[in-house]
Amino acid sequence: MLETATIVDEILDLKKERRAILLAHHYQESEIQELADVIGDSLELARKAHEFEGDVIAFCGVWFMAETAKILNPDKIVVVPDREASCSLVESCSAQQVRAWKARNPGHVVVSYINTSAEVKAESDIICTSRNAVQVVNSIPADKPILFLPDMNLGNYVKRQSGRENMRIWQGSCIVHATFPARRLTRARMEHPTALVAAHPECPADVLGMADFIGSTSAIIQYCSQSEAREFIVMTESGVSHSLRKLAPEKTFYFVQNENCNCSECPYMRRNTLEKLRDCLLDLEPRVELPAEIMERARLPIERMLAVK
């Protein structure tokens, strides 16, 4: 306990010394979220990074999120507590594969989920997040065919919501959400018959079909805390329980476990720890470094996304 308090003090001192901001995604450990200047979903964190004026961004999330912050702040230092904090969606889709896909499908608009590498973003026309994917696709003229990558569940959800037929979808998935089994959700609904179901759009279609609400991590938190219902089955990573407990302490939240690990935690997100956060502020490593040419090309599709209302 004493040791945790010491690390927290060290982090707070270093944050001041470095003129750093601490951005944390909802899937981080509670103790990291407690220290954050901003907690948010990937869109909110990208927006925060866009307006940042200090020297250092300590990004407590996964690497692609920190790359986005770096692309929006090429002259600032961006660090992540753990270099291995990746994402199964990023791993499923290389820039080389995307170039080949584009070559096989000329004339298509490339819409990339923010869960992609900087190199893939540089190959894209516009970026989206789970929060704005439907609006982003709707902002593209109806006669333009679309390549959507890399999340197939989000892509299929967007296709259903937008009614776009001319949309090809990459077959990537999230190792957490894609393995939430519908049968476990069915059982949870039987056990908690008055609970409403809130799901992230990376979940499979049969899970989404049972949801009362579908949205990004922040949108799920907002929905559950503002709803009049008292019980919720939450189909996303259990890190969101930190904000849910704070905003709605009187409500009950159930998390359905996935097939891989009998938990609902992202193994990449959970690589970050308080100790590693202290160390990255001290050493300013691991640091996001990207070729200037990639940053320049990747910035445009991100800015196009940020301009979509």
- Cross-strand pairs, 56: 20, 77
Comparing CB distances to ligand 13P, the nearer of 12 and 213 is 213
Comparing CB distances to ligand SF4, the nearer of 202 and 279 is 202
Least separation in angstroms between residue 155's CB and ligand 13P is 14
When CB distances are held under 5 to 8 angstroms depending on the partner's kind, the choice from ligand 13P, ligand SF4, none that residue 79 binds is none
32: which residues sit within 8 A by CB, 6+ positions away? Answer: 24, 60, 272, 273, 274, 277
Supply φ then ψ for residue 308, to 5 degrees.
-75, 130
When CB distances are held under 5 to 8 angstroms depending on the partner's kind, the choice from ligand SF4, ligand 13P, none that residue 272 binds is none
Comparing CB distances to ligand 13P, the nearer of 156 and 282 is 156
Dist. CA 64–CA 116, nearest whole Å: 6
What the block records as the tokens of 243 is 């904000």
Comparing CB distances to ligand 13P, the nearer of 45 and 56 is 45
Which residues sit at the interface with ligand SF4, rule CB under 6 A? 62, 87-89, 115, 174-177, 202, 237, 266, 268-269
DSSP structure string for 126-181: EEE-TTTHHHHHHTS-TTS-EEEESBHHHHHHHHHHHT-SSEEE--B--TTGGG--
Which residues sit at the interface with ligand 13P, rule CB under 6 A? 41-42, 115, 129-131, 174, 200, 202, 216-217
When CB distances are held under 5 to 8 angstroms depending on the partner's kind, the choice from ligand SF4, ligand 13P, none that residue 67 binds is none
Instruction: With beta carbons less than 8 A apart as the criterion, state whether 235 and 203 touch.
Output: yes
Least separation in angstroms between residue 126's CB and ligand SF4 is 19
Instruction: With beta carbons less than 8 A apart as the criterion, state whether 40 and 259 touch.
Output: no
When CB distances are held under 5 to 8 angstroms depending on the partner's kind, the choice from ligand SF4, ligand 13P, none that residue 159 binds is none
